[in-house]
Amino acid sequence: MTVRRLHGLFLLLVSMTAFCGFCQAPATKTITIRMIDAKTGDLIPTSEFLIRIDHQEDQHGTWVKQNEDGSGKLTLPAKAQIVAADAKYDSSTTIYVNCDSVRDKPEPVAHWYTISEILASGVVAPNECSKHTAVAKPGEFVFFVRQRNWKEQYKDFQ
């Protein structure tokens, strides 16, 4: 083989390797999720979330694993485009309400956030319960919650 032919084969091999690398999409997307107490501004350490993707009603709480700092590591399918996160029971006595939906009438509705924006710049959901704010880093989703009041808990028993 000539040097020219070896050089051509080498370039072909490098090009094919690079192309195959671009073709492979990641199997999952991972974001950090933080649930903040709207009253105190403190992180609520939990892995108990209700996660929904792409306007589906299926709930995937098992996709969140708690990090050492109390935030959650949320692993989503690569094809997922939007996500909604809701607070779940922290214990048998504490029930939370998302603060981005407290003004929704007559019932709170899910608020959806784009995963690409969360990954690129981070997203903080609106806090309609208090004046506390937060800053999200790229790859982070932050949302505020408050405990249900007695009227909201009473509705559950009717």
> Running DSSP on this structure, what letter comes out for residue 146?
E
pLDDT score at 37: 93
d(CA 84, CA 52): 5
d(CA 70, CA 90): 13
Domains of the chain (ranges, CATH numbers) = 27-156 (2.60.40)
pLDDT score at 31: 95
pLDDT score at 95: 75
Q: What's the Cα-to-Cα distance from 57 to each of 49, 85, 100, rounded to whole Å?
A: 14, 12, 18
pLDDT score at 60: 78
- What residue spans of the chain are helical by DSSP H? 3-23, 115-121, 150-156
Task: Enter the pTM of the model.
Answer: 0.76
d(CA 99, CA 81): 22
Give the residue ranges of the chain where pLDDT is below 70. 1-26, 88-94, 150, 152-158
d(CA 43, CA 61): 18
pLDDT score at 108: 77
pLDDT score at 107: 77
The amino acid occupying position 139 is: G
Measured torsion, CA atoms of residues 61, 84, 30, 33, in degrees rounded to the nearest 10: -80
pLDDT score at 130: 94
Contacts of 38 (CB under 8 A, 6+ apart): 99, 127, 129, 130, 132, 144, 145, 146
d(CA 110, CA 104): 10
